[in-house]
Structure formats: C-alpha cells, structure tokens
Amino acid sequence: MQEIYPLTFVSLQESQPWGGGGDLLQEQYPPKNTNATNAGNCWHVVDDGTRQSVVDSGSLAGRTLRQLVEEDPATLVGGRHQAHQPFPLQLRLAGTAQSLPLSVYPLKPPGVSDAGTNTQMWYILAAEADASVSVGIQQRYTQQQFLSRIDSLNLGELVQRFPARPGDAYFIIPGRIHALGSGLLALIVQCNDTMPLTIREADGVLPEPPLDRQTILESIDFQNRTVPRIRGESSAITRNRKVPLITHCTEFIVDEIRLVEDMHDRADGTTFHLLTPLDQPVSISCANGATCDLEPGRTALIPAGLGYYSIRPSAPPARLLRTVLN
C-alpha cells in the first residue's frame, strides 16, 4: 500500500423487499454517499463477487477493497492473509420495515468445507417498541416435535423470540435458525458467507419449493440450545472500559468500547481493526500522523500494519464497536 491510514468507504445502499417504509436505517444513520429505494442494507465493508467497498477519502480514494487486498494483504488484513483471498469480514447496517424470512445457515453448506464461514453477529442499534428477534429453537421442544410441525402454520411457536433491545447482541452460527423482525436497526458482522436456506417466509408460509425433511435434518443443529443473546450492559460509563461481546467465535472477536477519554490501541500486524462509533463522533489519531474523524454509524478500517493509534470521543461518554480477527 502506498500509504497507511484509517480507511473509510462509500456507503453502499442495497434495496431489499423488507427495507424502506421509513425504516430506522434512514432515520438513525442517513447514508451520505448513495441513495436506493427501499434500502434495507447499508454495506460499510464488503468484498464479494457482486458488492465492493470503495475508499472514499485520502490518497487511496477510488480504490476498491479487493485491489488493496491484492496489493498488500499482510499490511491491510494481517500476516496470515493471502492476496487471492477476499477480505475476510463484511460489515453492514440492516434496517427492517418488514420481518425477514425464518432462515438457517446449514451446518454443511454445499461446496463449502468450512462451515464456520457462515457465522454472524447482530448488534441491535435501535428498535420500535414491539420489535423482536427470532433465534434458535425453544429448549422445551425436541427435534421430533419441530419436524412434526414443519408444515404447520404455527411452527413459529417453537422458535425463541426475544424483544429487540438496543445494546443486545446475538450470535448466529451455522445450524441456528434466525430471523430479524420488523422495525429494528442492526449492525451485522459476518464472514463471507453462502446464502441461507429459507425455512419459512416472513408471512409464515412455506417457501417455494419447500425444503425436504432430509435437508432440514442436515442443516439445523438440534443439539446446541445455548442462549444466543448477549445482553447489553446498562451501567453508567465512568471510565474507559472494554465490554466483550463475541469472544468464543473462531473467526472474529467483537468488543464494545466505552470511552470517557482518549484510548490508545495498536494494530500489531496480526489483524485489522474495524471501528464503528455508536452514539458520538470520535477522532482517530495515528502515530504516523494520519487522522480520521468518524461519525456514528460509520466504520473505519485500521490496517493491520498501521501500528499505534488513539481514539478520542468528541462528547464523552461514547461507545463504539471494535471488530478484529480471532
């Protein structure tokens, strides 16, 4: 890379059937760069076959994330990354005007040897009063009971439903059924994944064509009934603090950083850092002289080889999410 500094990207809005309609995505964090009808996703970091993040400022403006990875994978991503590999994580905001289908990332995706490539984290940023999140099968129901209702309109009664509360996070792993409800805004960190399988459409009807029972048996993990929700912590912010959110994932680690003053950190060459302010603007200052002002809802990519940097909240206290590779 010709210059190392915190990278921000053009916001890539994407229309979705469940987006739009005055959703919280536009109200909370109106994207500055592009416009889309019924926007449901706003991609901040993405490097896949159809979507591509483009640097929006500095000497690398106009370059795509794929180009930067190919040019210098070790400096951008980390020492273990290869130039032919896509950037390993995606980050987006999802705002729902309608519920999403009940889906599952299969335990063994077709043609994918590493099932871990389908892992996600949802962090609830904002939600209407009656918004909810559906994740996992309720513990009191057996595999046989679930299968016996697979064609029934009341299948949703067997799914764990949680009220969508800002600050809560959810860990979505292969084999765990899931659906975002309507009226919420979530920050989603995910690996470069395959498409999920749809178990039920948002209105409760079977998909067309419906999944056969054998596919359902092979796709859903009926044994893992651990609670997928990580409750948000509401204690007063009186000092700088790191609150772990996702720590047992083999692909990535996510922490909520709480700031009342400058915090110093270091990208030591093993992994990049993704920084997303949640409620207050922050300023990033690097040891090499580079700086970056970051508004809430935006994401900065700190290259793995950047070294020491500091984060200053503009109006303490402030919260941000930090995502790194595990």
How many Cα atoms within 13 Å fall on the side-chain side of residue 282?
A: 33
CA dist list (Å): 173 to 76, 178, 234, 260: 26, 10, 26, 34
What per-residue confidence (pLDDT) applies to 116? 45
The DSSP string of 35-56 is --TTEEEEEEE-BSSS-B-BB-
Contact 109, 101 (CB under 8 A): no
DSSP character at residue 65: H
Contact 272, 323 (CB under 8 A): no
Per-residue pLDDT of the chain (326 residues; tens, 9 = 90+): 778 999 999 998 888 888 865 457 767 776 554 556 677 889 999 998 789 999 999 999 999 999 999 999 999 999 999 999 999 999 999 999 999 999 999 987 555 554 445 899 999 999 999 999 999 999 999 999 999 998 888 898 999 999 999 999 999 999 999 999 999 999 999 987 678 999 999 888 899 998 998 999 999 999 998 999 999 988 889 999 999 999 999 999 999 999 999 999 999 999 999 999 999 999 999 999 999 999 999 999 999 999 999 999 999 999 999 999 99
What per-residue confidence (pLDDT) applies to 203? 87
Helical spans, DSSP H, in 61-155: 65-71, 73-76, 143-148
End-to-end CA distance of the chain: 23
CA–CA dist 304, 315 (Å, integer): 28
pTM given for the model: 0.94
What per-residue confidence (pLDDT) applies to 321? 98
Domains and CATH numbers, the chain: 12-230 (2.60.120.10), 241-325 (2.60.120.10)
Contact 75, 303 (CB under 8 A): yes
Where do we find the tokens 């500091």? 310
The DSSP string of 161-206 is EEE--TT-EEEE-TT--EEE-SSEEEEEEEES-PPPEEEE-TTSPP
The token duo for 84 is 């032919």
Q: What's the burial of 221, exposed, middle or buried (CB within 10 Å: 0-12/13-18/19+)?
A: middle
What per-residue confidence (pLDDT) applies to 107? 86
How many Cα atoms within 13 Å fall on the side-chain side of residue 210?
A: 10
CA–CA dist 84, 245 (Å, integer): 30
Contact 192, 47 (CB under 8 A): yes
Q: Which helix (H) or strand (E) holds 312?
A: strand 307-313
